[in-house]
Structure 1
Amino acid sequence: MEQMTSLPCLRPSRTSRLLHCGSAIDHPYVERSTGGRVTTIRPTPVRPSLLRILECLWSGAPFCVTNGADVDYDDDPDVIHSQSSGSTGAPKRIRRHASSWTASFEQNKDLFGITSSDRSVILGSLDSSLSLYALCEGLHQGITVDVVSGEKPAVQKTALQDATILYATPTQARVALNQPFQNLRVIAIGGGHLDDKTRAAIKQNAPNARVVEFYGAAETSFVTMSDDNTPAGSVGSPYPFVQIEIRNADKNGIGEVWVKSPYLFDGYASPELGQTRTDGSWVTVGEIGALRDGYLYLMGRSDRMFTVADRNYFPEPSEAKLATILGVDHIAILPRSNDIRGAVPIILYQGDIAPDQMQDAARQLLNADAPKKAFRLSTFPLTLSGKPDIAALRGMVDRL
């Protein structure tokens, strides 16, 4: 495989401009750090948070953006602590060296033809790894970055009118891109599956944009990239310099997805690994899938799989289909204990569609895999990245 090089630090380019709701934030002039106590930065208020992030980026001081407990230990220079989405449990604090991000900054600059005239907008909270990544990448590449985290939709949409580049989760895209944005030329989706309905809406409202979807995790960063030419059901082909192996595969080639790349994390700040395992320079986060003709297909995470009548049931593919139903805002499929079948799948959702209509639609879309019960929630718990909070939803199942 061709060799790649990456810059070792996250220091912004002098041509970059950082804005908060259109108002400029000056770059600080700080001395280079040799490491030390990790700087804990709260994601709000946003402007002071951005100032502290800038100081750490310029100095190389290790930092962590979190609403959790202060980080009370020392670390090396040019180390970032971010956190996982926590969709299936408590968010994990992820430790990575700057070079694991700058390596992909250079790749994306070439992939998307990014120049100093580009302008990106940050919609999500700064303690989301996707938002923090997009912020650091834009500053490193020398473009203008306007941060509108936590602002009202009207403010975010005003900022988007001038944007050419957007990193967003599917939920953020659904909310923000519901009107025309002619200047957007790159829309990169991460943090969840982009359903066909949302993709079509994005294409209609941002007709000049190249829409790409990245699959990865906070631990792995980019793994695959998909676009309009990707086969249906696949999350794409390997991102540059990524190697993928399927281990412990069954007769259908379905097994554990293992990844090796320059973009991997260094480990967790705490010893708890959960579903994540390492093998030398390879890592898995517990995803189950298959490689076919160079494209990766995912069944789901092993920690979300459950057994129905002695058959492994992966809810994620069914959730992706049900998310396309008109009137569905958020949805998840969870197991409910059953004396005969071990467990049965049930639907938890938020939206305008009635439960009996949801069940009818599920039968049409999923056939034998359709859950037999659907429960509409007035409040649907979400993670910081806008994904269903599976841990919270699991706690609700027995009360329904």
Structure 2
Amino acid sequence: MVACIDWQGPILFDPRGTFGHLRGMVAAGQGVRVGPDGITAIDAGHIECTTSGSSGAPKRIRRSLESWTRSFVRNGAIFGLQDAVIGLPGTMAQSLTLYAALEAAWAGAGLVDLSGLRADRQLGQLVAHGVSHVYATPAQAEMILMGEGNAPSLRQWIIGGGRLSADLRQRLAHRFPQARVAQFYGASETSFITLDPGDAPEGSVGRAYPEVEIRTDGAGELWVRSPYLFEGYGLGGSPETRWSDDGFLSVGEIGQIDADGYVYVQGRKGRVVQVLDHLVSPEPAEVFLSERLGCPVAVVARRDALRGARLWAMVGQGPQGAQVEEALAAFRHRVGPTAAPHGWQRVDPLPLLPSGKPDLQRLEAMI
């Protein structure tokens, strides 16, 4: 397979000129690096995305362009991208947005920049340019839902970069009944791991994406082998990212695979905290509370002299205080007081990283 992109698709709305800049580099045959200083040229056939995770430590993900173009071919058939107009609510600093922009270029699809717009204006651009597909994180999809009205041209949501709750899926389907809702699970280091076109069991992130092998070890850690894996870190790194001797990669995610091949992800090992004599992951509480409350929720650790740590829920805009208390009580009844958030506070808006995920470091400082 030739790892090159002949950018044929139209750029329909690009107020900051970001897509135009990217197109010029692609046309010149250059590789691209996205970081704090914008988009710069690197050696041909390579892509580097500088990301800041929840810990705040920068990492530069280096991969071959071919590791993405292989999945362009797959997604072109799965999602029908050849005649698409793709809306992108994220900025190019988010690897999901860069991926989707290059995929649109490969497929000859149109591009519409939705980043930085209010919810009503995002919806207006969906309508004005006939957007058919939206690549978004759950938080970015929530933002679009804050606007009013439908977008009749929209036929596909592609959700990544975070867990798609059953509640958010239902609200997207209710507002945009003509559009399918798909989610994928992966990481910057792995690209696609699983895909759920909309029929996976509740709580699952779907089955293995084409050409992906997934296995678990004795500790429940997920390991992946595929042609979509990154080459390595150009800057920084993570102790949770490890390669096996036979080419499998782990980024420290814990999960399980059922008999039908559906994958269930419990969360990152790096987020586990000790509460009394128990090791607790905050991610089950985030999933439960966000689904129950219908708003973004992040759960972070608050240091406690007696217990080691306590979990604290940071709740976005929407529910009343009584609703939050009721949801916390329901989760506490389900898992017990140790694994449940001890308290909560309102954070409006919930601070996000460029990736569209909650900024856990800032949230911990706000408790």
TM-score normalized by structure 1?
A: 0.83
Using a 3 Å threshold, how does the CA distance of structure 1 residues 89 and 257 change in structure 2: closer, same or farther? Answer: farther
Identity of aligned residues (%): 36
Partner letter of residue 69 of structure 2? T
Whether the 8 Å contact between 1:355 and 1:375 is mirrored in structure 2 is no
Q: Which letter maps to 1:172?
A: Q
Kindly indicate whether the alpha-carbon contact (under 8 Å) linking 2:5 and 2:26 is maintained by their aligned counterparts in 1: yes
Structure 1 runs of 4+ aligned residues shifted over 6 Å read none
Task: Name 2:256's counterpart in structure 1.
Answer: 290
Q: Which residue identity does 1:8 align to in structure 2?
A: A
Q: Distance in 2 between matches of 1:123 and 1:233?
A: 25
The equivalent residue for 1:10 is: 5
Question: In the alignment, does 2:72 pair up with 1:105?
Answer: yes
> 1:69–1:336: structure 2 CA closer, same or farther, 3 Å change rule?
same
Give the number of aligned pairs. 357
Aligned: 1:264 with 2:257: no
**In the alignment, does 2:107 pair up with 1:114?**
no
Give 3-state SS (helix, strand or coil) of 2:235's partner: coil
Partner of 2:175: 205
1:301 aligns with 2:303: no
The answer to whether the 8 Å contact 1:65/1:82 transfers is: yes
Question: Does 1:20 pair with 2:13?
Answer: yes
2:118 is aligned to 152
- Cα shift at 1:152: 3.4
1:133 is displaced (CA, Å) by 0.8
Contact map agreement 1:359 1:371 (CA 8 A) in 2: no
- 1:68 is displaced (CA, Å) by 4.5
Write the mapping of 1:87-106 to structure 2, written as runs, cut at 5 A.
Answer: 87-106=54-73
Question: What is the CA–CA distance in structure 2 between the aligned matches of 1:285 and 1:346, rounded to whole Å?
Answer: 25
Q: Please report how far the alpha carbon of residue 356 of structure 1 lies from its aligned counterpart in structure 2 after TM superposition.
A: 5.7
Q: Show the counterpart of 1:239.
A: 209
User: Which residue identity lines up with residue 272 of structure 1 in the other structure?
Assistant: G
Counterpart residue type for residue 106 of structure 2: H
CA pair 266-56 structure 1, distance change in 2 beyond 3 A? same
Query: Once the 2 structures are TM-superposed, how far is the Cα of residue 234 of structure 1 from its aligned partner?
Result: 1.1
Using the TM superposition, give the Cα deviation of residue 277 of structure 1 relative to its aligned residue in structure 2, in angstroms.
1.5
Q: Is the Cα contact below 8 Å between 1:257 and 1:284 reproduced in 2?
A: yes
C-alpha displacement at 1:357, in angstroms? 4.5
Look at both structures and tell me which one has the larger radius of gyration over its CA atoms.
1
Equivalent of residue 176 in structure 1, options 111, 129, 144 = 144
Residue 228 of structure 1 deviates from its aligned partner by: 3.0
Listed one character per residue, the Cα deviations across residues 253-307 of structure 1 (whole Å, up to 9, x for unaligned) are: xx11111111111111115334212224221111111111211111110110112
Any unmatched runs of 5+ in structure 1?
1-5, 22-44, 250-254
Specify every segment of 5 or more residues in structure 2 that has no aligned partner in the other structure, as ranges. Answer: none
Listed as ranges, the matches of 1:1-400 within 5 Å are 6-12=1-7, 14=8, 16-21=9-14, 46-47=16-17, 49-68=18-37, 75-84=42-51, 86-115=53-82, 117-161=83-127, 162-177=130-145, 178=147, 179-249=149-219, 255-280=220-245, 281-293=247-259, 294-326=261-293, 329-353=295-319, 355=321, 357-367=323-333, 368=336, 369-378=339-348, 380-397=350-367
Q: CA deviation at 1:131?
A: 0.8
Partners in 1 of 2:318 and 2:12 — Cα distance?
37
d(CA) in 1 for partners of 2:84, 2:237: 40
